[in-house]
């Protein structure tokens, strides 16, 4: 992964995605990170740069587990 996400917990999630073979694309300037699954269904999700919701990371993990082929560790 080229640039690192400013939030260490979200950075850990992006590293988990890379470990699972997901492609992690940093934002082209201001915007969202994009993660894309390597499976044939081409699942993807966006990751905010600075989420305002304190529960954002937990909600993102739940969304990934529910809507994609994410193999969550925690």
Q: What is the pLDDT of residues 37-65, one digit of tens each?
A: 999 988 999 999 889 999 999 999 999 99
Nearest C-alpha neighbor of 43 from the set 12, 69, 25? 69
Asked whether residue 38 is assigned to any structural domain, the reply reads yes
Asked whether residue 3 is assigned to any structural domain, the reply reads no
Q: What is the pLDDT of residues 58-74, one digit of tens each?
A: 999 999 999 888 886 64
Nearest C-alpha neighbor of 37 from the set 21, 48, 25? 21
pLDDT of 5 over the 90 cut: no
Report CA torsion sign: 51, 56, 61, 66: negative
Structure confidence at residue 1 (pLDDT): 47
Structure confidence at residue 29 (pLDDT): 79
Tell me the CATH number at 59: 3.30.920
Asked whether residue 74 is assigned to any structural domain, the reply reads no
Asked whether residue 1 is assigned to any structural domain, the reply reads no
Structure tokens at 8: 């260490």
What is the domain count for the chain?
1
Structure confidence at residue 3 (pLDDT): 64
CA 72 – CA 64 distance, rounded (Å) = 8
Nearest C-alpha neighbor of 68 from the set 38, 47, 34? 38
């Amino acid at each position: 992964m080229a640039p690192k996400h400013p939030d260490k917990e979200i950075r850990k999630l992006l590293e988990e995605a890379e470990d699972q073979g997901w492609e992690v694309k940093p934002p082209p300037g201001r915007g969202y990170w994009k993660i894309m699954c390597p499976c044939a269904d081409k699942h993807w999700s966006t990751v905010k740069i600075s989420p305002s919701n304190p529960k954002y990371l937990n909600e993102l993990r739940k969304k990934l587990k529910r809507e994609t082929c994410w193999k969550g560790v925690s």
